Amino acid sequence: MEPGRGEAIACSFGGRAELPAVPTCRSELGLCRLGLVGRGGTAGNKFRMSLGLPVAATVNCADNTGAKNLYIISVKGIKGRLNRLPSACVGDMVMATVKKGKPDLRKKVMPAVIVRQRKPWRRKDGVYMYFEDNAGVIVNPKGEMKGSAITGPIGKECADLWPRIASAANAIV
């Protein structure tokens, strides 16, 4: 019988118990190929950006689902530090609620992706970028949009990470 996780086996030196080498991370288990887990089939990482949208920020909803604005509850993938508010930037997935909009969308927690932010951030080529408003789109947990169209431009950082959002955008800046 093969020892599993949490079971100890005896070693030959001094009778100490040693845990077997069991794969623990997603890449060892074969779940993650080229960083494909959770981003809707994209590869690559996001560069460091200025975080412009902390928890409790209200952003415009840039899709045609019927929501007018989104209230950020939490940011996905943030580890955290004591007394620091988790913050999001362009391309981050957040958990949000609809504060104004269709009654069937309100009072529910749903994932959304930030597509625009007012806070300037520096790109790798040295250009500082910012938009005139903060905006997000409602998605499902896989990153597929609930709506079918996006109003206004979206950031290149978001388009690189979320291909379904990029295909619905009319302008990528």
The answer to whether residue 159 scores a pLDDT higher than 70 is yes
- Look at residue 41 and tell me if it is in a domain: no
User: What are the pLDDT digits (tens) for 53-78?
Assistant: 999 999 999 999 999 999 999 999 99
- Please tell me whether residues 76 and 151 are part of one structural domain: yes
Is residue 99 a part of any domain in this protein? yes
The number of folded domains in the chain is: 2
Per the rule left: phi > 0, alpha: psi between -120 and 50, beta: everything else, 8 is beta
Residue 66: closest CA among 116, 137, 115: 137
The per-residue pLDDT for 33 is 45
- Give, for 159, the enclosing helix (H) or strand (E): helix 156-161
The pLDDT of 113-126, averaged and rounded, is 97
Per-residue pLDDT averaged across 101-105, rounded?
Answer: 97
Residue 43 lies in a domain: no
Question: Averaged over 87-114, what is the pLDDT?
Answer: 98
Q: Comparing C-alpha atoms, which of 128, 127, 135, 126 is closest to residue 153?
A: 135
The band of 7, judged by pLDDT with boundaries at 50, 70 and 90, is: very low
Whether the per-residue pLDDT at 101 is higher than 60: the answer is yes
**Residues 61, 123 share a domain:** yes
Do 2 and 78 fall within a single domain? no
Task: Classify residue 71: in a domain, yes or no.
Answer: yes
Q: Are 123 and 49 in contact (CB under 8 A)?
A: no
Q: Which residues contact 152 (CB under 8 A, 6 or more apart)?
A: 62, 116, 133, 135, 171
SS3 content of the chain, % helix, strand, coil (to 5): 10, 30, 60
| Within a domain: 38 | no
Q: How far apart are CA 2 and CA 123, in angstroms?
A: 50
Together in a domain, 100 and 58:
yes
CATH number at 115 reads: 2.40.150.20
- Domain with 7 in it: 1-32
Domain membership flag for residue 46: no
- 173 inside domain: no
* Per-residue pLDDT tens digits for 10-49: 444 445 555 455 555 554 545 444 444 445 544 557 889 9
Residues 95 and 152 in one domain: yes
Position of tokens 């950020």?
72
Q: What is the pLDDT of residues 86-98, one digit of tens each?
A: 999 999 999 999 9
Question: Are residues 11 and 64 both part of a single domain?
Answer: no
